[in-house]
Structure 1
C-alpha cells in the first residue's frame, strides 16, 4: 500500500490524496480517498475502516518503502504510476467536468469506476480477473460481455 498525495483538494470533504492497496495474491486493488495525510494514525484509520473491517487482518503488510528503494513495493508503485496517469489525463481537461445530465464530477469520483474496471479485467500473471481470484465471481459490468 502507498499514498498518492499532493492532489488538488476536491469535493466537500477536500480530498487531496488517496491510499492504494494492492492484494499481492489476487492482484485486486482498492483506492481510498482521504482529505489529509499527516500521521500513521490517519493511515491506520483508513486501513481499519476500509480493509480490516471487511476483509479481516492480513498476515503480511508491505507498505511505505523508503524514498530511494521504491522497488520494495513494486506492485503498488506500478499501480500508483497507472493511477496518476489516469488522473492526470482526467485533470488535463480541468479538475471538474459536467456530464450530459448536468452533474459535476471531480477526480475523486472516477476512483470507484477505475477500481471496478481494473478488478474485473483479466490480469496477465493470473490469467483471471482479480475479482474472480478474490471472490470466485466477477461483478456484473456493462462493458463485460
Structure 2
C-alpha cells in the first residue's frame, strides 16, 4: 500500500492510493485528496478494499506518517491485521516486487500526464486495463487470478455506423479512446522499465536543494521558438532547484512563475547540473530561455453573443466578447 502524490489537482483530489495484492499483483487505484488524513485513508480503504475483499491479514507500507500514527496502528490492532513497514528508499522486497512497484508508478504518472485534468474521471479505465494484462511470469492476468475467469474483451464489437443511438455510439467511442490511452501509457511504462533493466541502470537520485536541468517540454514552446531549427534549440533549461522527492521516480521542481505547467517531473526528464568551471558566464542564463510560455492575460469587457457547437464527442459553448 502506498501513495502516489504530486499530481495535478482536480477539486480536492491530488493523489492516488495504490493497494496491490501481494500474490496476484491485482492493483486498486483510489483517487484521494492532495492532503489526505489517516482517517480519510481508512474510510477509502474500507470502501474500496475491505468491502470487496475483506480485511487483509498483513498490510505492507512504507513509514509514511499516516501508517505509523496512533489512529492507523490502533485501528488495525483492533481488527487484527498485521502492519509491516518498509522504507520507501530501501524496500525490503524481492527484485520482482520492486520492479513491479516502479513500473506501476511509471504507468500511473504517464496516465495522469496524458489525461491531465481528466485523470480522476478516467482512473477506473486505468485500473481495469492494468489488471487485464497478462503477466510474463504467470501467463495470466491479475483479474483472472483473482476471479478465476478471463475478462471479456475491451474492444468494440458493433460497427459505429450501425448503432441507432448516438449517445450509445458516443459512449462507446469515448470508452475506446480511454482504453487506448491506458494501453499507450502502460506500454510506455513497460518500455521505460525494460530500457533501464536492459542497461542494468538505476534511476539517478536527487535530494532537496540539488540543482538540475529540466528537459524542455516541446508542446509548450512559443510560436517563435517553433520556427527555429530544433537542432539548435536548447534541449534542457536550468539550473533549477529540487523542492522535494515525490514517490520513487518523480521530483517537484521550483519553476519560474510563467511556466504554466505542472511542476512534478519524472526523473528521466532531469539531469544533474554541472557548473562550468572554465567559463562562469555559461552558468548564468544567456537569454530568457524559460520565458517560453509567458503570456499576457486578457480580460473581456463584455459578452456580446454565444453559440453551442456539437461534435461526436461533446458540445462546446463559444463566446463572442469585446
Q: Aligned partners of 2:141, 2:129: CA distance in 1, in Å?
A: 10
Return 5+ residue gaps in structure 2 as ranges.
Answer: 63-85, 158-322
Q: Does residue 28 of structure 2 align to residue 9 of structure 1?
A: no
* Residues 71 and 77, structure 1, Cα contact 8 Å, conserved in 2: no
Match of 1:122 among 124, 130, 134: 134
Q: Deviations over 1:15-68 (max 9, x none)?
A: 111101111111111100012334322222211111012110111111124343
Q: Aligned partners of 2:109, 2:17: CA distance in 1, in Å?
A: 12
State which structure, 1 or 2, has the greater radius of gyration over its C-alpha atoms.
Answer: 2
* Residues 70 and 77, structure 1, Cα contact 8 Å, conserved in 2: no
State the 1:71 CA deviation.
5.5
Q: Aligned partners of 2:45, 2:31: CA distance in 1, in Å?
A: 11
Root mean square deviation, CA, Å: 2.3
Match of 1:136 among 121, 132, 148: 148
Instruction: Please give the secondary structure, in 2, of the residue aligned with 1:16.
Output: strand
**Aligned residue number for residue 51 of structure 1:** 49
Report matched runs for 1:1-145 at 5 Å: 1-10=1-10, 13-64=11-62, 65-70=86-91, 72=93, 74=98, 75-88=100-113, 90-91=114-115, 95-96=116-117, 106-143=118-155
**Between 78-87 and 111-120, the greater mean CA deviation after superposition:** 78-87
Q: Aligned partners of 2:112, 2:153: CA distance in 1, in Å?
A: 22
Please give the TM-score of this superposition, normalised by the length of structure 1: 0.76
Return 5+ residue gaps in structure 1 as ranges.
Answer: 97-105
Please give the TM-score of this superposition, normalised by the length of structure 2: 0.37
Higher normalized contact order (CA 8 Å, seq sep 6+, divided by chain length): 1
Q: Aligned partners of 1:126, 1:144: CA distance in 2, in Å?
A: 27
State the 1:127 CA deviation.
1.2
